[in-house]
Amino acid sequence: HDWITHGENLQRDLIEIPLDDDDPARRRFRQRAMFVGRTQPDPTRRDPDEPTPVTHINEVTHWWDGSQIYGSDLQHLYRARSDPSRHLADDGSLRTLGPDDLLPDGKLEHRGQQVDCSLIGQTTLMTVEGEKDDITGIGQCEAAHRLCSSLPKRMRRHHLQPKAGHYGIFNGRKWRDKIAPVVENWIATHN
């Protein structure tokens, strides 16, 4: 799939690209110019007149990430979230999904044996998600708590950070001021 999409181009105020008299496209398409829709403006930009570079929303992903494996449309995301078993090859490396990959359904196998996450019981588990994460949907990390059902509630913690996106939860001000203290406290409590 493509790495970038800015959504449907605007159909008003088209950009006109004149064609030279001898341009083969002029004769082939019987037109004197090509017309291209403008890219949608960034609706999150605070002041469109500020003297900074023009920005655009990327509706797919702006990072090289798991979407190359799992896709970035609803059909592929559903498949990834409902069928993610057998992620590991025999050598321990990650592999892509197959049609019978069913982690949430308890059908994950590794080296021919069923993996039962409910047997995990001698560790702590803390997950962190961002409320505005557009790559990892809310609940995807929290699902680990349901899979590791033998862990007592006191050994599990889920933190949903308000107003944080996918990359904002582990860097920048939100990380330093809001999330890191929660993680540090969790580690100190269970160390």
The pLDDT value recorded for residue 151 is 92
Residues with pLDDT less than 70, the chain: 1-4, 48, 59-108
Instruction: Give residue 85's pLDDT.
Output: 46
pLDDT given for residue 71 in this prediction: 58
Backbone angles phi, psi at 79, to 5 degrees: -60, -45
State the pTM of this model. 0.47
pLDDT of residue 17: 92
Q: What is the pLDDT of residue 86?
A: 42
User: What is the number of other CB atoms lying within 10 angstroms of the CB of residue 98?
Assistant: 9
Q: Give pLDDT tens digits for 25-68.
A: 888 888 999 998 888 888 777 776 777 777 777 766 555 555 55
| Contact of 19 with 39, CB cutoff 8 Å | no
Residue count of the chain, please give it. Answer: 191
User: What is the residue whose two structure tokens read 């993610």?
Assistant: 84
pLDDT for position 92: 54
β-sheet bridge partners, residue 156: 125
Spell out the residues 6+ positions from residue 163 whose beta carbon is closer than 8 angstroms to its own: 131, 132, 174
Structure tokens at 66: 């798991």
> CA-CA distance, 175 to 149, in Å (whole number)?
28
